[in-house]
Amino acid sequence: MSLIQRIDALLPQTQCGKCGHGGCRPYAEGLAKGEAINKCPPGGDETIAALAQLLDVPTLALDPERGSAPAQIAFIREAECIGCTKCIQACPVDAIVGAAKLMHTVISTECTGCDLCVAPCPVDCIDLLPLSADSTIIPIVGGLATNAEQRTARTAKRDHSRQRYEQRNARLQREEARKQAERLARSQRSVVTTASSTATDDPIKAAIERVKAQKIAAADAALKQAKIAAAMSRAQLNKARTAFGETPNEAQHAQLLELERESQAAQAHLESLQAVSEHGRG
């Protein structure tokens, strides 16, 4: 395995974002570049020690500003659920099922306890329930596997959670690609329709209309990508702010400044594209 893969194998795969990244794999990539090893509350001291050994760096105490991550699972009070799908969209491992305006429920055996579904819920109907010692659900956080059998079971569940995380990301990418293809197809149909309606009257005008439609389609695609980039940049900044707390240290402050610059740049790029789009359509 590559160094990043070996690092990722030591992480708990909760995908909670408490490290300031969007998941365990991005944190593993940061660790490979020299990032601090003490940013993972779900991994705790056990993961810190394993990372220190792998990377040949000193062991550190867990950064207290990252919060805590006990063994827990989410539970939706179904009678209060309004079917908004916000928790479904937030879950990094697709452990919540449901549909718009219909009750949602958590697949308890798939839940990593990341708590990312709690904040988006507009009616506050999601509870985080601690896993009891006699629970049949295997906890994936660090420090709870005390023998070889438990460690093997935990590793298997972590691998499974990683696969669900990767599968979800792949699905979202496919869905975005499909939407872009559909938008392109619609724009091309518009070009054909426009061309056919004007070709018999004025071939030059038809060619101009085709070029114009193609430019509009390209601008729409660029605008969509800019919106996604701006939203992702804002989300990354907000995650980091939450993880670092009100009193970030010097390194965290520098990272926040960099994330703020990236967010501002992404927003400025989006606004410039929106202005061009409005002017062009006007």
Q: What pLDDT score does 260 carry?
A: 87
Question: Max CA-CA distance within the chain?
Answer: 82
Would 79 be classed as within a structural domain?
yes
Mean pLDDT of 231-253: 77
169 by Cβ neighbours in 10 Å (0-12 / 13-18 / 19+) ranks as middle
Mean pLDDT of 185-211: 67
pLDDT higher than threshold 60 for residue 90:
yes
pLDDT higher than threshold 70 for residue 206:
no
Would 181 be classed as within a structural domain?
no
CB contact set of 130 (below 8 Å; sequence gap of 6+): 70, 71, 72
* Closest to 137 measured CA to CA, from 169, 115, 161, 118: 161
Distance separating alpha carbons of residues 210 and 213, to the nearest angstrom: 5
**116, 101 Cβ separation under 8 angstroms:** no
Would 28 be classed as within a structural domain?
yes
The pTM for the full model equals 0.67
Q: What pLDDT score does 193 carry?
A: 64
Mean pLDDT of 140-144: 94
Name which residue leads in pLDDT, 200 or 266.
266
Mean pLDDT of 184-195: 72
pLDDT higher than threshold 80 for residue 239:
no
Mean pLDDT of 115-132: 94
Would 197 be classed as within a structural domain?
no
Mean pLDDT of 103-112: 96
The boundaries of the domain holding residue 106 are 72-170
Q: What pLDDT score does 227 carry?
A: 80
Distance separating alpha carbons of residues 55 and 188, to the nearest angstrom: 52
Residue 93 tokens read as 């491992």
Name which residue leads in pLDDT, 184 or 53.
53
Would 175 be classed as within a structural domain?
no
Task: Please indicate, yes or no, whether residues 76 and 55 belong to a single structural domain of this protein.
Answer: no
Q: Looking at the 3D structure of the chain, how many domains does it have?
A: 3
Distance separating alpha carbons of residues 67 and 245, to the nearest angstrom: 9
The band of 231, judged by pLDDT with boundaries at 50, 70 and 90, is confident
Task: Please indicate, yes or no, whether residues 165 and 82 belong to a single structural domain of this protein.
Answer: yes
Task: Find residue 96's DSSP bridge partners.
Answer: 106
Q: Check residue 65 and report its DSSP letter.
A: G
Lowest mean pLDDT among 6-20, 108-122, 153-167, 230-244: 230-244
Would 189 be classed as within a structural domain?
no
Lowest mean pLDDT among 154-158, 215-219, 252-256: 215-219
Q: What pLDDT score does 149 carry?
A: 95
pLDDT higher than threshold 60 for residue 200:
no
Residue 14 tokens read as 């909760």
Would 18 be classed as within a structural domain?
yes
Q: Check residue 129 and report its DSSP letter.
A: E
Mean pLDDT of 208-227: 76
Q: How far apart are the first and last CA of the chain?
A: 54
What kind and span of H or E run contains 175?
helix 148-199
Task: Please indicate, yes or no, whether residues 82 and 56 belong to a single structural domain of this protein.
Answer: no
pLDDT averaged over every residue in the chain: 88
* Closest to 232 measured CA to CA, from 68, 23, 11, 37: 23
Task: Please indicate, yes or no, whether residues 91 and 151 belong to a single structural domain of this protein.
Answer: yes
Mean pLDDT of 81-89: 95
In the chain, pLDDT over 70 holds for what percent of residues? 92
Among 66, 97, 119, identify where a domain stops: 66
CB contact set of 44 (below 8 Å; sequence gap of 6+): 62, 69, 141, 142, 143
**251, 27 Cβ separation under 8 angstroms:** no
